Structure 1
Amino acid sequence: MTFKLGRVVRTVTVLGVLYASASDAAAPTLKVPLTSKLAPNFAGFYNSSAPLTNAALKVVTSVQTGDDQTFSDILIDTGSAILWVGGQEKYIPGNYTHEINQTFSVGYGTGGVSGTAYVDRVTIGTATVDSQIIGDANYTDGFTLVEPLNGIIGLGPVGSNYGEVSGFNTTPTFVQNLYTEGKISHMIFGIYITSLSESGIPEGTGEITFGGVDQSRLSGDITWLPQNEPLDFHWEFNASTLSWGDKLLVTGPIYSRTDTGVLPIAIPSEAFFDILDDVPGTNVDSSSALEGCLIFPSNATANSLPPLEIGIGNLNFSIPASSYIVPPTLYSALNITADNMTHTFIAPGGFGAFDLGQKFLENAYSAYDMENHMIGFALLA
């Protein structure tokens, strides 16, 4: 996860469609509701005098832990692998808390968090882990784009939190513990993210499914791809193509990652500049919360701009202009002052690299297999 939008720098055979372990319909699954939100809260959004300079969009859930506490605004992040709370509301040890006399510290690109580590019972939706290492934040920095932020649940790969809790090389993630405690049969989870309407209101409730995938969210089967090495780093894989309408901009393998903690669709930088040159009057945002993203001239509209076509395995994800253009009703919340231009969520991802954040994931179902080191995608139902 990174919060510095526009500075997101991030040949294998596709293994066909859904394979046996991930499609086991009899396997128990646990559901966690997700909400796409505007930050800060909606009350602030509709109050024109509220300080909205650093507002952005985020995907959050609620976590129960500590002294019978419920922490809302817990950011879902597939780009990290530590669970911590206490960003807004102080964590209080409860009846299930065990002191381990250790600390934790996590860096997130332009910011970070540190504090005391405990073992505690944690419930998220219908999923409960009885013994989860959890961080109690006493210092945070760099999270202004997603405030209010009460914590983060990291859903990164096994081993990707090396050195982040003192006294441990790595620590088990929430998904690992669900599996080892027998709450799920497979270390697999699927993510479905809903978008915001033009007025900034969630269009529905998303979800994480622990232990499998939610077939009702899918159109067709999941295409699974092998995770790129190193396996203990990020959910990275190779995409195949990127097109801008009928123009093929990049062919694979394209080094890619998914990251629910990142807002834009970060595309290969060579394609970013091709689009910049293709539409006269296009430039790069240098002043809003979407710094680094493309800005088209005002005569470029959702009806005139082509879709982004992203090929992953045997699937093609078509992201219409209406999905990558910022609705004007959100301009003030994102500190966009050049309201005579057409702003977008398209950012540069580095040469030959995708960073597929929230605005892509609103248009796809993604799944993650920690046992077999696979990343899956499906079209939405």
Structure 2
Amino acid sequence: MFVSSIVLALATVSASPVQTPITLKLTKQSTLGLENLAASTRSSINRFSSDSKSEPLQNVQNVFYQANVTVGNGQVLTVDLDTGSSDVWFRGSTCTSSDGSCNGNKVDITDSSLKSTGKTFSTTYGSGSVSGNIYTGSVGVAGAVAQNLPFGVSTQEKGFNGVADGLLGLGFNSISQISQTMGSPANWFDALGYTGSQNQFSFYLSAAADGDNGEITIGGTDPSKYSGNINWLPLNSETYWQFDASQMKYKAGGKSGNVGAWFRNNAISDTGTTLIIMNNAQADAINSGIGAQPFNSTAGIYYIDCGLAKTGVPLEFSFPSFTMSIPPAYYVLDNGDGTCISGVTRGAGFLTPTIFGDILTRAYYTVYDKANNRVGFAQAVHPH
């Protein structure tokens, strides 16, 4: 997850297998932010099962998509759902920051069901960082609960001044700082114990103009939210949800080119990132093709005429076997002050992968399949 705000805005986990998919409704957020990358390797962990049920999530205005989680003895907090990182952490009552990051709800560590491990964690994201203490306890989403899960309680934060009270990483264990510190896995989804075809979760991200809710489905897919086939891409690393982009191409108006290159052939699907982050030359070409103008070359942000949300050209990303087309309404992002920015930005370095954030996931229902180490894309079905 790249957490970088932009102007416009484990110990043993005990569980028993969950048997049915859980679908959560998403509602929306409001300050644009890029999010950070992180992921991890799957390890064997014990399992816990609780009642399968649905509950609303908070989806914040085409920018962040967040869920209510229960911690310990019924505490309810709101977290950012992030396939680009692997740690779970919540804001602590002693949290300090220099940018307002510590505002919001805080986990109550006096809850008798939460246990201190006596260990600390520190994680850096794209535009911020968090550090604090590691506790263990139950962490649940929609009744799917991981018991004795190691998670962080922040004492210092930077770059997390949105509306969330923490972060729930949905990547792999290999880049989980808490897993490394504890010397055992701390992956929330793995702790639920799905196996076989249920060992997957999927995202439908709603569009602000449609007025519907997005959702995450845990343990499967929701066929009502997509049409046609799911197009699968194998992962080439159990770090991020990363796939080979060497044959991936882009087309934006009269501009076209390759996403991959001899020095950068990887791409990542990341629900914790708002935008699509590409290298400078690609971002410049695409924004020229869709009619966007540079606003801040250092930050890599482009202004775009808000009217192009209705009249602009589609942005296409294609593989030899399928093409994904993003409507202009999804990549023209309203700043709320009469201006709009492009959903494609600079930021991918010389050797770093292309990041496909929520701009793509709104257009294409995305399935994260741990059973088969692959990520899948299908045409999202929106109300309008």
* Equivalent pair of 2:87/2:168 in contact (CA under 8 Å): yes
In structure 2, give the amino acid aligned to 1:217.
Answer: K
Number of residue pairs matched by the alignment: 323
Sequence identity percentage: 25
Residues 65 and 271 of structure 1: CA distance in aligned 2, closer, same or farther (over 3 Å):
same
Residues 5 and 317 of structure 1: CA distance in aligned 2, closer, same or farther (over 3 Å):
farther
- What's 2:211 paired with? 203
Residues 4 and 92 of structure 1: CA distance in aligned 2, closer, same or farther (over 3 Å):
closer
- What's 1:132 paired with? 149
The unaligned stretches of length 5 or more in structure 2 are 7-17, 33-60, 92-101
* Equivalent pair of 2:89/2:153 in contact (CA under 8 Å): yes
Using structure 1 for the length normalisation, give the TM-score: 0.75
Residue by residue over 1:2-57, the C-alpha shift from the partner in whole angstroms, topping out at 9 and shown as x without a partner, is: 23368xxxxxxxxxxxxxxxxxxx962122332221149xxxxxxxxxxxxxx993
Paired residue secondary structure (1:164): helix
Residues 30 and 56 of structure 1: CA distance in aligned 2, closer, same or farther (over 3 Å):
closer
In structure 1, give the amino acid aligned to 2:325.
Answer: S
Using structure 2 for the length normalisation, give the TM-score: 0.74
Correspondence 1:210-289 to 2 at 5 A: 210-229=218-237, 231=238, 233-239=239-245, 240-245=248-253, 247-250=255-258, 252=260, 254-277=265-288, 283-286=293-296
Residue from 304, 318, 334 that aligns with 2:325: 318
Correspondence 1:7-86 to 2 at 5 A: 28-39=20-31, 57-72=63-78, 74-86=79-91
Residue by residue over 1:292-312, the C-alpha shift from the partner in whole angstroms, topping out at 9 and shown as x without a partner, is: 22224x597335431101125
Q: How far 1:319 sits from its partner (Å)? A: 1.1
* Equivalent pair of 1:32/1:127 in contact (CA under 8 Å): no
In structure 1, give the amino acid aligned to 2:341.
Answer: H
Structure 1 residue runs of 4+, over 4 Å off?
Answer: 182-185, 251-254, 276-280
Residue by residue over 1:250-272, the C-alpha shift from the partner in whole angstroms, topping out at 9 and shown as x without a partner, is: 26575211111111122443332
* Equivalent pair of 1:37/1:196 in contact (CA under 8 Å): no
Paired residue secondary structure (1:175): helix
Q: How far 1:98 sits from its partner (Å)? A: 3.0
* Equivalent pair of 2:4/2:128 in contact (CA under 8 Å): no
Correspondence 1:296-335 to 2 at 5 A: 296=304, 298=305, 301-312=308-319, 314-327=321-334, 330-332=335-337
Correspondence 1:68-107 to 2 at 5 A: 68-72=74-78, 74-86=79-91, 88-93=104-109, 94-107=111-124
RMSD: 3.1
Paired residue secondary structure (1:32): strand
Paired residue secondary structure (1:76): strand
Residues 275 and 122 of structure 1: CA distance in aligned 2, closer, same or farther (over 3 Å):
closer
Q: How far 1:123 sits from its partner (Å)? A: 1.5
Residue by residue over 1:355-375, the C-alpha shift from the partner in whole angstroms, topping out at 9 and shown as x without a partner, is: 111122111111112233211
